Amino acid sequence: MVYTKKHPALLIIGIFMVALGALVDFGLMDGVISYLAIKKHLAEITTLPYIFGSVAIVVGLWHLFGEHKEGHLDYYLSTVAGVVFILLIAMVVRWFAAPFIAVLSKSMGPVMGAKYLHEVFGLNYIVLGILTGIIIVNFFKVPSWAENGVRLSRLGLKTGVVLLGTLYSLAELQQLGALSIVMVGFFVLGSVGLVLWMGARRNIPNSMGGVLSAGMGVCGVSATVAAAPVVQAKSVEIAYTIGTILLWGVGSMFLFPIIGNILNLGHVQFGAWAGTGILNSAQVAGAALAYQPDGIETLKVAEIFNITRVLILPIIVVWLAVWYVKREESAPGVNIAQVAFQKFPVFVVGFLLMFALSSTGIFSPPNHYKGKYFDNDIPAEKLLTEQALTTLKNEQQKVQRAARQAALARLIENKKLMSIEDDNTLRGLINAKVLSKEANAVLKKAHKAVRHTAEKIKKFRQFIVWLFAFGLTGLGMQITFASIKQAGGQPLVIGGVVGTIKAVLSLIVVVLFVHETI
């Protein structure tokens, strides 16, 4: 089979991208850039369209005029059209659509405290990218020339997770790992058990209970896909379950950031809540990036929870397989080792490998660490001004914890951060959103004065965010209303009850017991 379509779309997209890059490069879009306040994206807008546009033009010419023969080259090059299509959507959304919505939202004034409408609803480039994907697949259909490439969005997400492994410190991984094991362990087992219990009370078939408990308890659609053959779920049960999970997942992606904003949750708190309470793993990443579009702290927390969930998946599938065999005489025997081996998420090994390599310092560029905690020759303009100090002093009484109080007092006394420990403590204070926006801005300035992140690291982080944006936009193109509409039957009732209990209880646990330490 020849996969490449003789279609001009890729070539046209390539020309459009290069033209966009040139327009911005030559200053012909300065007015638009200034109106949308997107100067911070200028470096991206003047490089990415050239790179991907050039690739698209070359491959697009080959698509249109080349002779295509069956084989690996044909298949791999056929995917370029879909990849570039998703990238184009992600670019337009990140650089133009999301900033435009922000401008509109700001023109309406703050709606919740100092927050604007788009901030409350988390309407940033990630959520808008997913939404655009959903709109495309449901109202226009994914073009046939893009279908192969759209499937690669999964690879983008997995690569993003693997590379994210380089950004954790051992302490973070230990701390977040322990927290996620406790929370995910409790809520996964709790919701699996609750679904099975409710299923038995409502007399649903074991196959339906099995597939629903995996989906509701572990990681949504992925768990349903893994468990359905093992518990011999009927087609209608699969459709009900996946419909219910997608409905919940997409709803949660919008609802969680709003609730997080209302409750002023910190990044660790929100990441932990989303990682536990949102049923579907793709929407966990979406909600985390929706909550914090310009940073990856929330994503880092949420992804640890996602990884813990996916590591639990083979265990739950094996458990359900054994549970099902015991209850159904007609069920075929189960090879536990084979099931566990097949369901093991290999990309998690990549994540751990990248973390291990990173902890050796292999990825740190020379002079990456430029801590100036002990440096007394910091230029005066980098020290906190009297006005900034007054802002902090006025809010000192808001800080409850002794360690934070002490770190803040030392900062006020010295006009600069004096140790890594103080820096970490006060970053926790920023994330906890205890202080006002102005006071947090002062703390961030104090952090920047002593801690410098190398340009390469910044770009690397941006690259990871792009991978997630690419992956999630592509996944949006795989969420069809037709499948969401299948939500129904007992799975909708049981799923609704268990999903709500899980989301509410995990929120309570997060608010009461999870604090900012990342």
Partner 1 sequence: MFYTHLLLASHGTPGACAAEVAAFNLCNPDATLHHLIVVPDFWKGMLGDDWLNNAITQIQYGKYVECELEKEIQANVNRVSAEAKARKLAYSYEFLLGKPAECLLKVANHSRFDLVVIGSPRPKNKEGLKSRMHCETLLRGLSIPLLIIPYPDEV
Q: Which window, 39-47, 219-227, 406-414, 456-464, contacts partner 1 (CB under 8 A)?
A: 219-227
Closest CB to partner 1 among residues 220, 499: 220
CA distance 360 to 370: 18
User: With binding defined as CB under 8 A, does residue 350 bind partner 1?
Assistant: no
Q: Which window, 24-32, 187-195, 368-376, 479-487, contacts partner 1 (CB under 8 A)?
A: 479-487
Q: How many residues bind to partner 1 according to rule CB under 8 A?
A: 46
Instruction: For residue 383, give both structure tokens.
Output: 């020290």
Contact with partner 1 (CB under 8 A) among 40, 139, 332, 346: 346
Minimum distance of partner 1 from residue 291's CB (angstroms): 19
Nearest to 211 by CA among 500, 489, 505, 501: 489
User: With binding defined as CB under 8 A, does residue 234 bind partner 1?
Assistant: yes
Q: Which of residues 281-300 bind partner 1 (CB under 8 A)?
A: 281-283
Minimum distance of partner 1 from residue 217's CB (angstroms): 14
Under DSSP, is residue 110 helix (H, G, I), strand (E, B) or coil? Answer: coil
Spatial contact of 461 and 167, defined as CB atoms under 8 Å apart: yes
Contact with partner 1 (CB under 8 A) among 9, 97, 242, 507: 242
Spatial contact of 230 and 324, defined as CB atoms under 8 Å apart: yes
Spatial contact of 206 and 490, defined as CB atoms under 8 Å apart: no
CA distance 163 to 470: 14
Total residue count of the chain as it appears in this document: 518
**Other Cβ atoms within 10 Å of 343 Cβ, number:** 20
User: With binding defined as CB under 8 A, does residue 451 bind partner 1?
Assistant: no
CA distance 131 to 128: 5
Q: Which of residues 100-159 bind partner 1 (CB under 8 A)?
A: 153-154, 157-158
Closest CB to partner 1 among residues 317, 384: 317
Residue 325, C-beta contacts closer than 8 angstroms, at least 6 positions apart: 331, 332, 333, 334
User: With binding defined as CB under 8 A, does residue 236 bind partner 1?
Assistant: yes
User: With binding defined as CB under 8 A, does residue 483 bind partner 1?
Assistant: yes
Spatial contact of 430 and 517, defined as CB atoms under 8 Å apart: no
Q: What is the DSSP letter of 435?
A: S
Minimum distance of partner 1 from residue 268's CB (angstroms): 23
Minimum distance of partner 1 from residue 251's CB (angstroms): 14
Q: For binding to partner 1 (CB under 8 A), which residues are involved?
A: 153-154, 157-158, 219-222, 224-226, 228-229, 233-236, 238-239, 242, 245-246, 249, 280-283, 306, 310, 313, 342-343, 345-346, 471, 475-476, 478-480, 482-483, 485-486, 488-489
